[in-house]
């Protein structure tokens, strides 16, 4: 009997992480869940087919917790991990000078250090199941060109895009695929933050920008794991930003300055 393929997803308690976990789980995969909120994580687990998941309460900023989580999930799944979804992330909105030192450090440590720890911890498991294994990093359209009010967040997501490109080259000889999801704005709790007096969600609506569902990103994650591209812009705004950043940088710069002036 062919063993079930296994995915481990961080940030699995809500938003994109929960949607990815459910999408893969309902396709017959064994799903490992990682999150720092046990209540939300176990709520996700209850939505999955019984007996084919394992939840682990963890902090992605701790390399030792990454090692522990992957070890127990591999054991629970029958000895293998085929895909690791480096998805956990936080967003602090506001101008750079409005953010506290603690907010800046929190974004850097979760979004970037946490993803690097995840990649390093995942490598040996993905190498064992290669070819066909995959690291999926959740970057953002904000990593394609900096968005006013999401400065440190965008910087971490740009770094995650660069990390994905480096690992795509470094791990190719091992048969490990690397994929970088770059969704536009997604309807998750991250949009409940504020830019000035309004929420990020309301700010985006006022600008006429698209807000994706987590399920749209989960479908893109599935397509990315089974596809052959490195970069996966998700949604029309992400595709437009990809185009503009490459071919219309002057116009895009002016638009971002106008956004900042309105904020």
Domain boundaries defined on the chain: 6-262
Q: What is the pLDDT of residue 207?
A: 65
Digit-coded pLDDT (tens) for 55-92? 999 999 999 999 999 999 999 999 999 999 999 999 99
Q: What is the pLDDT of residue 191?
A: 74
Q: How confident is the model at residue 199 (pLDDT cuts 50, 70, 90)?
A: confident
Digit-coded pLDDT (tens) for 226-263? 999 999 999 998 999 899 888 888 998 998 888 788 76
Report DSSP letters for 166-233, one per residue. Answer: HHHHHTGGGT-EEEEEEE--BSSGGGGSEETTEEHHHHHHHTT---B-HHHHHHHHHHHHHSS-SEEE
> How confident is the model over 26-47, as a mean pLDDT?
97
* Residue 153 bears catalytic tag: yes
Q: What is the pLDDT of residue 49?
A: 87
pTM recorded for the entire structure:
0.92
Q: What is the pLDDT of residue 16?
A: 97
> How confident is the model over 167-195, as a mean pLDDT?
89
d(CA 63, CA 164): 19
Q: How confident is the model at residue 2 (pLDDT cuts 50, 70, 90)?
A: low
d(CA 137, CA 16): 12
Return the higher-pLDDT residue of 134 and 247. Answer: 134
pLDDT at residue 189 tops 80 = no
* Residue 229 bears catalytic tag: no
The two structure tokens encoding residue 73: 């999930």
Of 63-67, 203-207, 214-218, 255-259, least confident by mean pLDDT is 203-207
The gap from C-alpha 123 to its chain's centroid, in whole angstroms, comes to 17
- Per the listing, tokens 């062919």 go with 2
Give the containing element (helix H, strand E) for 250.
helix 249-262
Which is the CATH superfamily of the domain at 6-262? NAD(P)-binding Rossmann-like Domain (3.40.50.720)
| pLDDT > 90 fraction of the chain, expressed in percent and rounded | 74
> Considering 157, 205, 236, 262, which one is annotated as catalytic?
157
Report DSSP letters for 56-90, one per residue. Answer: EE--TT-HHHHHHHHHHHHHHHTS---EEEE----
The two structure tokens encoding residue 194: 């504020």
CA distances from 179 to 7, 48, 126 (A): 14, 24, 13
> Considering 153, 161, 205, 236, which one is annotated as catalytic?
153
Q: What is the pLDDT of residue 41?
A: 98
């Amino acid at each position: 009997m062919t063993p079930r393929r296994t995915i481990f997803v961080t940030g699995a308690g809500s938003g994109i992480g929960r949607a990815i976990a459910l999408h893969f789980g309902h396709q017959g995969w064994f799903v490992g869940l990682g999150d720092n909120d046990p209540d939300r994580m176990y709520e996700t687990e209850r939505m999955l087919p019984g007996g084919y998941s394992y939840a682990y309460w963890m902090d992605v900023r701790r390399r030792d917790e990454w090692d522990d989580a992957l070890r127990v999930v591999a054991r629970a799944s029958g000895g293998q991990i085929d895909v690791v979804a480096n998805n956990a992330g936080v967003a602090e909105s506001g101008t750079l000078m409005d953010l506290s030192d603690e907010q800046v450090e929190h974004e850097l440590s979760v979004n970037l250090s946490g993803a690097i720890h995840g990649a390093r911890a995942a490598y040996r498991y993905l190498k064992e199941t290669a070819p066909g294994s995959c690291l999926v990093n959740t970057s953002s359209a904000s990593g394609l060109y900096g968005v006013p009010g999401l400065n440190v967040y965008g910087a971490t997501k740009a770094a995650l895009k660069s990390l994905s490109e480096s690992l795509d080259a470094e791990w190719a000889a091992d048969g490990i695929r690397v994929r970088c999801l770059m969704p536009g704005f997604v309807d998750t709790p991250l949009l409940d933050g504020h830019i000035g007096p309004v929420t990020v969600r309301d700010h985006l609506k006022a600008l006429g920008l698209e807000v994706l569902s987590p399920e749209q990103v989960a479908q893109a994650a599935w397509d990315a794991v089974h596809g052959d591209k490195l970069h996966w812009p998700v949604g029309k705004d992400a595709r437009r930003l990809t185009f503009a950043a490459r071919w219309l940088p002057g116009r895009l710069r002016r638009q971002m300055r106008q956004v900042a002036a309105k904020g």
